[in-house]
Each structure stands twice: as C-alpha cells, then as structure tokens.
Amino acid sequence: MQRKFIINLALLLLLNFLIKPFWIFGIDRTVQNMVPSADYGIYFALFNFSILFSILLDLGLTNYNNKNIAQNNHILSKYFSGLLTFKFLLSLIYFLVTFVVGYVVGYDSARFSMLLFLSINQFLISLILFMRSNISGLQLFGMDSLLSVLDKVLMIIFCAVLLWGNVINEPFAILHFIYAQTAAYLLTAIVVFAIIVFKTKVFTFQLNLPFLLVTLKQTFPYAFLVLTMTFYYRLDAIMLDLMLPDGEHEAAIYAQAYRLLDATSQIGVLFAGLLLPMFALMIAQKQKLDDLLRLSFSLLFIPSAVLAIFCLFYAEQIISLLYVNHEQSSSNVLILLMFCFVAIAGTYVYGTLLTSKGSLKQLNFIAVIGLILNFVLNLILIPTYKAEGSAIASLITQFIVLTAQIFVCNMIFNFALNYQYIFKVAFFFVVILAIIFGLKSVDVSLQISFLITVLLSSVLVFLFKIISLKDILQLIKNR
C-alpha cells in the first residue's frame, strides 16, 4: 500500500486516540463530577435531543460531496458556494423542527435556552464536517486529520481554563461547558472556511436549485437511514428525562455508563470509514469478500466482547474510579451498554458491507424496525427499571438489528458458515471468561487485571489463529 495512505492513517488514529479520550474522560467526565447530577442529566437529554434531527442539516450532502470532489477536484470552486448556502437554508428547517418538537414534548424556557446553544453546536458540527469533506476530497488528508481534532483541542483548552484557571467568579455550571463548545466549534468552522476559500480563491452565496434537487434525490435514502438510526441510538436518555419524575437524575446515571460506550464506539466509526471503500471496490470487481469480512469482524467483535466480559466483573470498580457520585444502577447500566457495544461493533462491519452494496432499502427497513422496537421497549421498561430498563431496551434492539443485518448479508452474498472459526471464537471466550474470573477471584487491582486481560487476549487471538498478522498486513496492503 502507498506510503501516503499509511502515514495519514497513522496520523488520524494517533490524533484521535490522543485527543478524544482525553476530552471524554478528562474534561467531559470532570464536568459531570463537578456540576449537580440533575443539571448534567438535563444537558445529556437535551444534547441527545439536539442530535435527533441533525440529519436535516446535511441530508447526505457531505458524503456525496466527499466522493465527487475526490473524483473531480475542479468542481470545488463551482459547487462549494451553492452547497454551503443550501446548508444554511437547511439549518433553518432543522431549528424549526427541533424547537417545534421541543415545544410539543413540553420543554420549559430554561431548557429551550440550553437547547438553543446545543442546536447551534449541531449546526456548526455539520458545517465543519461538510467543509472538511472538501479538504479530504482534495486529498489533503494530513490537513484533514489535524482539523478532525481541532475542535476538541480548543474545547479542552477553553474548558480547562474555565475549570481550573480561576477566571470565573461563580461555580462552574453546565452552561459554561456548552458555551465553551460553541466557541470551539465556531473557531474551527472559521479556520476550515478560510482554508477552503484560500483554495477556491472565490466565494459568493448562491443556489443552483436543479443541481440540488438531483443531489437530494440521490442522497435521500442515506439521509433517511441516518435519521432512523439516530433516533434509536439517542432516544433512551430523552425518554428517561420525559417519562420519569426524577428523569434528569436517571439520565445522568445513563450518561455515566454511556460515556465508555461513546469512547469505544469511536474506534468502530474510524474502522467503518476504512472498510466502506474497500468493500465497495471488492464488490465492483466481484472479488471474494469472506476473508475481509471475517478479519474485520474479528478485529472489532473480539475486543468489544472481551471488554464487555471485563466490565461484567469490574463494572462497579470502573464506575467508582471514574465518578465521585454514583449508584449501584450505574454499574448495571455500564454492563448492559458494553454488551450493546458488542452488537454495535458487528453492525459497523455488516452495516458497512450492506451500504457498500447499495442495499439501503434493506438497511432502512431494519432501522425502522429497530426504531419502533426501541421505542416500545423503552415505554415498557423505563417506568419499572428506569435507566437499567433503557439499557435493556438498547441491548435487545442492537442484537436484533445485528441479527437482521447478518441475515440480509447472507441472503445477498451467500456466505458459507465457517464452523471452525465459530468453534475457535467460542473456545477463546471460554478461556477469556476463565482468566477474568480468576483475576477477580484473587483480588488483583483493576488496572493490573485490565493489562493482563489485554495482553493475554491479544496473545490468544493469534495463538488460536482467529486473526493472523499476515491477514492484517494484507488488509493494509489492499487498502
């Protein structure tokens, strides 16, 4: 594989692994520990609510733009102005829908004030991603990698100053956290915009309606898929907040566990981004997909399942390590959500494969079923089991969605069952379960247990030939 790709991939992974975990566990976690639990619960619920309709800010334009700029660099100056103008018009629709629905569900003026800035943040995020798609489309991958973490770097700086710099004369509040995010996103958007204007040399606000209508017709199935998936990923905290008298508190409990799920999911997102063009090329060239599918599934599924098993035994200690104030239900929610991640890891592979094939009709059908199922299960389980009930709803939904995606993939690609692989994976997990149980029994510290688990699982996965170094090198070469 070309040296350029490997260098840029390494840079992207390095920056994301350095910056984003520090943001999640160093800043976001600290904020939750410092502000009242109910305040963070409200923030978490409204943050998820602001994401629900965020696809209206894009409608698939970013992915479409990335692909077309990569294939035709000269069209950047021709279409960038029109598409950016259109995104500003889409933002009006997004704000209208978000606030109308917020009014319908009964949000008060205080929540609307917070929702306003969270919605502005979603608009800025969408704007940054769209403008970055032009930069990556121009093959400026190094610059794009740096820009991918610029907003988080700025947020870390702003929040660190507010948290520990003694620059405010009042206790740190959740609104300070939101304002810091807004400032960071705004500065990042200005930087990215300046880079693109420098590249295009010209910018004017204009619209090309015929072109936009054709584009939207092509991107609508993808936009609908993102909308439905966003709903069943983000409904939990919102329904906890709305359905329970102490909904803010239960949403805060859910947020404590969700933070670890969010951090681990970043790996899956990056991995899916690498898999999509690989699967698409192999399908176009009618190559055999079995080996790549098995390898990519193993690289995501095995670590996620090992982590879930580890959390099964050490959830209480993990929660105690991360948070000052916590309850027993927090560790139970963590266990459930980390097993959710096992299913999510599988969907990053099989969902990406179906996307590469262009099977959006099947994916949309599965997503709608997942949304309805998640909503109904939350309605049933939340009144009795609260945050744990919402986590159970997610667990059931994610595994049913994964099962459906695997079934559809097998129908389309006619994959053969590899019984030897299944046996090796099953035996691997029996051994891992025994190792973690043994570590827990002899009262080894959390940190040492985690290191031993990571080292032994890494050795065993190669020893059992579930993954081979040769396959990984071949994956990089083919990419």
Two tokens, residue 2: 């070309």
- The pair of structure tokens assigned to 256 is 């404590």
pLDDT tens for the chain, 479 residues: list them.
344 444 555 666 677 777 888 888 888 899 989 999 899 999 999 999 999 998 888 887 776 665 555 455 555 556 667 777 888 888 999 999 999 999 999 999 999 999 999 999 999 999 998 888 777 666 666 777 788 888 999 999 999 999 988 888 888 999 999 999 999 999 999 998 888 878 766 656 666 677 677 777 777 787 788 788 888 788 899 999 999 999 999 999 999 999 899 888 877 877 777 777 778 778 878 888 888 888 888 988 999 999 999 999 999 999 999 998 788 889 999 999 999 999 999 999 999 899 888 888 899 999 999 999 999 999 999 999 999 999 999 999 999 999 999 999 999 988 888 889 999 999 999 999 999 999 999 978 999 999 999 999 999 999 988 887 776 666 555 55
Measure the CA–CA gap between 290 and 471, rounded to whole angstroms. 12
Q: DSSP 3-state assignment of 188? A: helix
Tokens of 123: 């608009």
Query: DSSP H helical segments within 417-468, as ranges?
Result: 419-441, 446-463
Helices (H), 244-359: 247-284, 290-322, 328-357
Neighbours of 7 (CB within 10 A): 13
Contacts of 77 (CB under 8 A, 6+ apart): 200, 201, 202
Non-local CB neighbours of 452 within 8 Å, separated by 6+ positions:
435, 439, 444
* Distances from the Cα of 240 to the Cα of 236, 253, 475, angstroms: 6, 10, 42
Domain ranges of the chain: 1-207
